[in-house]
Every structure is written in structure tokens, then in C-alpha cells.
Amino acid sequence: MASIGLKAQLIGEIHNENRGALKIIGNNKIKQDCNLGDIIEAVFYIQNTSPDTVFIAQIAPDCQCTQYEFPSKGIAPNSTDSITLFFMSEHTPPGPYFKRNIVDYDDTSFELNIEGNITKVKNIIRAGQKPILYQKKQIRITNN
């Protein structure tokens, strides 16, 4: 069992988004409002500042409504690449949301977050007319 000091150190490392070889270019948080059913495609640019290729071990989202894509072949030395998070709002209740994702690599971690507000859009149905149904969107946004 880890000591309290070690646990506090590990938790502290997660909140330091620019510790280690990978540096986040821009912010580690993207704010985007959407309508219920939309998909947010949040692109975070990261730079490898080390002389070695860095491999991301895993990304741990806080719920199943967030999927991810990252460079599986590693990030080359002194280059820039991206991590994309896909937040599917379909089964998230309307109102404010906050999605936390932990990126693990080389014995350290950093957070990538998506937050905003989800609005429920009502379909328009009028007698004798074809209903106007909300068409879900995919919204792409970057962190810089």
C-alpha cells in the first residue's frame, strides 16, 4: 500500500499538465456547448520536447461517453502531434458537463478536459406538415 505522501505526489503530478517530455500546446481544457445528441471532437496538440520517441501508454476517460484517438506509433523527438477526444452527448443529461481524461506516459500523467453545457432541442411538429427533426452535429474544436 502506497504511503499518503506518495499518493499525494501522484495526484499532484496528474494536475501538472506540462511535466515530463510531452508539453500541451495551448490549454488542457476545451469549452464547448452543444445540443443533446451532438458529438464534440476535441483536438489537443502536444509536443515531444525530448530526444526520444514518447509512447502514450493509455488514456483513461471518466466515462464511456468519451472515446479517444492518439498516435499509437509514438510521438517522434522534437515533433508535434495530437490527441483527439470524442464526447458523445447522446446519453448525458442536459445541463453543464465536465469530462476528465487522464493521459499516461513514461511514469507521469496529465489531464485533458472537455466542459460546457448541453441543451435539449425540441423537434417541431405541426399538424399536416412534415416534422422538423433536429439533425445531430459533429463539432470539431482545437485547444489553441
Listing DSSP states for 15-75 in one string gives H-TT-SSEEEES-SEEE--EETT-EEEEEEEEEE-SSS-B-EEEEEESSTTEEEE--TT-B
The domain of 92 spans: 4-142
Per-residue pLDDT averaged across 15-35, rounded?
84
Overall number of domains in the chain:
1
Tell me the whole-structure pTM to 2 decimals: 0.82
Residue 82 contacts residue 48 (beta carbons within 8 Å): no
Residue 10 reports pLDDT greater than 60: no
Map grid coordinates 483527439 to a residue: 84
> Predicted confidence band at 2 (pLDDT cuts at 50, 70, 90)?
very low
Per-residue pLDDT averaged across 77-95, rounded?
96
What is the CATH classification number for the domain harbouring 38?
A: 2.60.40.10
